[in-house]
């Protein structure tokens, strides 16, 4: 009989055990990479919830980061940002840790630390994997990007709130201004009425007494006319002319505006008809209607 070869059987068994170990290691490695990918996905998913603030976001992130490490139950996390620290519930300074800087626009704004809680005989099992170091760098980069976007959102939100506040204040000011303008119009109307009343009650009685004297009646009528129009724009209109009218031209303009003819003006002011006509030509020139078919009386009687 042919004898069996023990060494042949032993070789097959060793090869089988080697294949099983390779499969186990590959499966374990794939499991670790899957956890790492889930960690990055969970951070991105949490950031996509726009309603959550930056502080609440960092508090949540430290809770699930340990799950991406090979020994989650013995891994703790600390994130430092903006003068605040966010720690996992089991955080405790350890002899073995990984730290990565969090950068915002190429400047350091904080850091993230992964600490192993292993002790005694377990220390040899707590060496961080190369993939875990890479993962921590990826998380730090992702946090920098998230913080930058969250800060931009906060600035935008604050600006929007300020604009809304300013819009409300402006609306209130517009309402107040409208009320002030309305009150001014009321006061102006009242003032106009008061002036008219004072002239009627105080000045007109004096004019009636002057009529009993030898003063020309046209002069009294002219005085009365301008007193009645004291709140009108005729005087303001003349004062804005450039070049300015002379006192005599203003006097003649007022008689023209009242409707007197050149002859009546000459008799009233005790000057010649030619002098009046000369003043009329000068007035037309200064008011800008010389050589135009515009009646001087009509021009002076308009408010424009």
Is 214-301 a CATH 2.30.40.10 domain?
Answer: no
Span(s) in the chain for CATH 3.30.450.40: 22-154
In 150-176, which positions are buried (b, 16+ CB within 10 angstroms) versus exposed (e)?
beeeeeeeeeeeeeeeeeeeeeeeeee
Residue 14 has pLDDT above 70, yes or no: no
Report pLDDT for 16.
Answer: 62
Query: What's the mean pLDDT in 5-14?
Result: 56
pLDDT class of 221 with cuts at 50, 70, 90: confident
Report pLDDT for 175.
Answer: 92
Q: What are phi and psi of 97, to 5 degrees?
A: -155, 155
Residues 129-140 have pLDDT tens digits of 888 899 999 999
Residues 58-93 have pLDDT tens digits of 999 999 899 888 888 888 999 999 889 999 988 887
Regarding pTM above 0.85, the answer is no
Report pLDDT for 180.
Answer: 92
The structure tokens listed for 262 are: 């050149």
Report pLDDT for 18.
Answer: 66
The structure tokens listed for 193 are: 């009425």
Q: Which residue has the higher pLDDT, 184 or 193?
A: 184
CATH class of the structural domain 22-154:
alpha beta
Span(s) in the chain for CATH 3.40.50.2300: 214-301
Residue 202 has pLDDT above 70, yes or no: no
């Amino acid at each position: 009989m042919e004898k069996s070869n023990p060494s042949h059987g032993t070789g097959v068994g060793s090869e089988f055990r080697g294949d099983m170990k390779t499969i186990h290691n590959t499966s374990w490695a794939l499991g670790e990479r899957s956890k790492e990918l889930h960690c990055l996905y969970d951070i991105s998913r949490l950031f996509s919830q726009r309603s959550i603030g930056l502080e609440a976001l960092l508090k949540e992130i430290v809770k699930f980061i340990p799950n991406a490490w090979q020994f989650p139950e013995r891994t703790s996390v600390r994130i430092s940002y903006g003068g605040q620290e966010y720690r996992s519930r089991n955080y405790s300074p350890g002899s073995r840790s990984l730290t990565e800087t969090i950068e915002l626009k190429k400047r350091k704004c904080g850091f993230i630390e992964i600490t192993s809680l292993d002790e005694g005989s377990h220390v040899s099992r707590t060496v961080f994997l190369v993939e875990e170091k890479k993962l921590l760098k990826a998380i730090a980069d992702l946090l920098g990007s998230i913080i930058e976007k969250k800060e931009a959102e906060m600035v935008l939100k604050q600006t929007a709130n300020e604009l809304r506040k300013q819009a409300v204040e402006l609306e209130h000011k517009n309402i107040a201004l409208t009320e002030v303008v309305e009150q001014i119009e009321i006061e102006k109307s009242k003032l106009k009425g008061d002036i008219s009343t004072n002239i009627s009650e105080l000045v007109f009685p004096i004019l009636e007494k002057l009529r009993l004297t030898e003063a020309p009646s046209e002069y009294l009528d002219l005085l009365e006319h301008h007193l009645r129009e004291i709140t009108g724009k005729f005087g303001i209109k003349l004062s804005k002319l450039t070049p300015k009218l002379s006192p005599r031209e203003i006097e003649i303009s007022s008689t023209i505006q009242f409707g007197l003819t050149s002859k009546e003006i000459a008799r009233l002011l005790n000057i010649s008809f030619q002098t009046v006509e000369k003043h009329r030509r000068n007035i037309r020139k200064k008011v800008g209607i010389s050589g135009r078919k515009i009646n001087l009386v009509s021009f002076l009687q308009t408010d424009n």
